[in-house]
Amino acid sequence: MHNFVNEPPLVGLKVIELGQIAAGPFAGMLLADLGADVVKVERPDGGDGMRSWPPFITNQMGESYSGNFASLNRNKRSITIDFNDPNQLEKLKNLCAEADVLIENYRPGVLKKYMLDYENLKERNPKLVYCSISGYGQTGPYSSKGAFDVTVQAISGLMSVTGVENGPTVKCGVPVGDFVTALYGAYTIMASLSRVQRSSKGTYIDCSMLGSLLGISALQTSEYHGTGKPPKRLGSAHPRNAPYQGFDASDKPFVIAAGNDKLWKAVCEIVEKPELEKDERFITQSLRAKNQRELASMLQPIFIKFTAEHWLGRFDNKGVPCAPINTFKDILNDPHVKEMGLIEDIQLPIGLFTKDIGFPIQLSDFEFEIFKRPPKLGEHNDEVFSEWIAHKV
C-alpha cells in the first residue's frame, strides 16, 4: 500500500514558469512548495531581474546571492533559454508539450512573437493550463501598459483608501498587487486542473493585477455602489466600527478592535470610564463609527499614560482583540511565530544559509520542507531536458 504521509499534494505536477520579479515567481513557488516540479525559464544574460535585487548574501569567496530572489524561488529548478535561438526555442516548446501548467507574466503579446502563446502551445498540448499574469489583462485599452505594483495600487483605487485622511499619498508597504494576483493565479490554476481531470481539456487564465486588487476591495466597491460616494482614507480606523484603530501608548503604538457592543462595554471598564457606555454619541456601533474622531480624542489621553504592554494585558484579559504594532524585527522574533514553525533555514547556492518564511498553511499528513534550494541561473539545463523529454528524442 502506498504511504501518503508527507507526500506533497502536488507531486507529479509539471510546471513551466516564465516568470520574473514577483507575481509570476510567487505563483510558481506556491505550487512548488506543495510539491510541483516547477522549472523556471530564464534569460541566459542575467536571468530573472530579481537576481540583482538586494540584500545580497556574500560568502568568503566573494560570491553573492540575492535574498529577495531566494525568498520567491525556492523548490524550483532553473534553465536558461535564448528565445532568439531557434534550436533552444524549439527545446522549450518541447518542454511545454510535456507540462501540465505554464505560468507567465510577460507583457501581453510578447510571447506570441515566439509562438509561446496559448493558442500555439495548445496545439501540441491540449491539456495545458496556461496562466498569464499581467497588469491590466490581455484585452482592453490598458492591456499594453507597463505595470508595476505601485502603479496598479494607484489605478485600482487601493491607494485612495491607504493612509491618513488629508495626508500624503502612500502605497501599502507590502506589494499586495503582485502577491494577491499570484494567489488568485495559483488558486485558479488548481481549479482549472480539476476540470482538466474531468474533461481532458486545458484552459487559458487571464489573471490581471487590476482585477485582483478590485477583487479584494469588495467592501470598498460595495460601499461606493451602495452610497454613490467613494470611500476615504481613515488611517488605521474603520468606517463601520469604533474604537477599531491604532492608539499611542507611552512607549509604542497598539491596536484595539472593539467591533461590537459587548467589546465596547469592556473597553469602558478597562479605561475606567463607564459613563462613555451611556454617552448618546457612542450607544450603538454605528454611532461610535460616526463619532469616532470624538471617541478617539477621549481615549488617546488615557492610553498615553501607560505602556502598550499594560493596555494589551488588560484588553487580553477582557477578551478585546488587540495587538502591538510590530516591526518585522518584532514579529520575526516573536515566540508565537517560532512556535508556529513559520521560519525556515534555507541554503543558498553559494553555501551559506539564510532564513525564510515557509509555506504558512498547515496540512495534515504533510509537513512543508524546502527540498530544493533556490537555483543558480541555468543550473538544471541538462537535468530537466533529460528527465522531461529524453524519451522523445
Instruction: Give the catalytic positions in this structure.
Output: 178
Q: Are 238 and 245 in contact (CB under 8 A)?
A: yes
- The H or E element that residue 130 is part of is strand 129-134
Reduce the DSSP state of residue 14 to 3 states and report it: strand
For 123, other C-beta atoms within 10 Å of its C-beta total: 11
Pick the closest to residue 7 from 26, 37, 34 (CA basis).
Answer: 34
Instruction: Name the 3-class secondary structure at 35.
Output: coil
For 157, list phi and psi in degrees, rounded to 5: 95, -10
Report yes or no: 186 and 133 within 8 Å, Cβ to Cβ.
no
Q: Are 17 and 28 in contact (CB under 8 A)?
A: yes
What does the alpha-carbon distance between residue 105 and residue 22 come to, in Å, rounded to a whole number? 9
Determine if residue 102 is left, alpha or beta; phi over 0 gives left, psi from -120 to 50 gives alpha, anything else beta. beta
Residue with grid cell 467589546, as numbered in its chain: 263
Residue 231 burial class via C-beta count within 10 angstroms: exposed 0-12, middle 13-18, buried 19 and up: middle
Whole-number Å distance between alpha carbons of 189 and 244: 37
Cα end-to-end span (Å), the chain: 34
Of the candidates 208, 104, 100, the residue with the CA atom closest to the CA atom of residue 147: 208
Q: Is 32 helix (H, G, I), strand (E, B) or coil?
A: helix
